[in-house]
Structure 1
Amino acid sequence: MELRVVAYDEPDAVKLIDAVQQEYVVRYGDTDATPVDPAEFAPPHGLFLVGYVDGEPVACGGWRVRGEDEAELKRMYVVDSARGRGFARAVLAELERTARVAGRRRLVLETGRKQPEAIALYRSAGYTGIPKFGIYRDDPLSVCLGKDLEDDRGDLRTR
């Protein structure tokens, strides 16, 4: 898979974002209503990636600055036909690397209990439970996770 930095509102990104929103409709009955401004995912305040296989967009994810030293992961997604091939893990690793290079010390995310495969991915990558945040903080289906990023020497950064 080839990962490319793209604008959040670039056509391939929009196609994948629309697909993940439909996934939310199937699982939760509605799209994710979290406010998102495409400019939040533009460097240096954020980043959005699309993964390509044979020229076709198959995976995406991004981060945006949240607070003084954190970044929030958003729109992690892999199309059905490309699942089980390690693409989500590759996107996540690159998002962690680029957030760290941009000076972020911690990544946080909000997902939901009806996405057990996402929760399993994040937990296997070292994410642990954190206090709930965002518009779904009072929703019993909401799950918030976070991870301290390693510095360039491989040491965990401390707050």
Structure 2
Amino acid sequence: MLKLFRTDSEHRDYEKLTDLLNEDLAGRYKVEPSLFAKINEKRLSWAVVLYHGEVAIGCGAIRPFEENSVEIKRVYIHPDHRGSGAAYQLLAELENWAKEMSYSRIVLETGTGQPEAIKFYKKHGYTSIPNYCEGTSASRCFEKMLKHDQKQCVAG
């Protein structure tokens, strides 16, 4: 059974998962994990940890980006749980949290070394936008407009 837990980036399970993410990215891009660890230096107030039973298997976060926009950061699903639908549950939770806070747009940056991530985001309604990250031609940026549920009044 999968459970989602809202927290921040200082949660111990979030930190363990982002360490695994750093190792994964370092292998994909042939760099030192410390390069990606620098990304974790900034505290993220809105993080989610995904559990399978009592085991933390995934994480992600959002942070303010521009007016009415948030950015998805540090998404990771343990390899043993990829392809299970866990990533979609995590993504949906991040999107729902952004909508709850009245954000209307969500953006993200991934890279050419993560083709499965690019495919995943496109499958879930993200469209390509010009890169907003500096310094790497491997970056690929995406956005999605968030649809807010409209409550309908029924005359009685």
**What interval of TM-score do these two structures reach, taking the shorter chain for normalisation?**
0.7 to 0.9
How big is the shift at 1:111?
Answer: 0.3
**Cα distance between partner residues in 2 of 1:34 and 1:16:** 14
Hey, what does 1:144 align to over in structure 2?
141
Per the TM alignment, residue 147 of structure 1 is displaced from its structure 2 partner at its CA by 0.5
Alpha-carbon distance, 1:135 to partner: 3.1
| 1:157 aligned residue | none
Change in CA separation of 1:133 and 1:149 when aligned onto 2, cut-off 3 Å: same
CA deviation map 1:89-145 (0-9, x unaligned): 110011001101101110000000110111111000100011111234xx2211000
Identity %: 34
- Structure 2: any 5+ residue segments left out of the alignment? 152-156
Q: Distance in 2 between matches of 1:5 and 1:56?
A: 15
Report the counterpart of residue 51 of structure 2 in structure 1. Answer: 52
Which has more radius of gyration? 2
Where structure 1 has 5 or more consecutive residues not aligned to the other structure, the ranges are 155-159
Taking structure 1 as the reference length, the TM-score comes to 0.86
Q: Alignment length, in residue pairs?
A: 146
Alignment check: 8 A CA contact 2:133 2:139 kept: no
Counterpart check, 1:29 vs 2:30: yes
Q: Which amino acid aligns with 2:47?
A: F
| Aligned partners of 2:61 and 2:72 also within 8 Å | yes
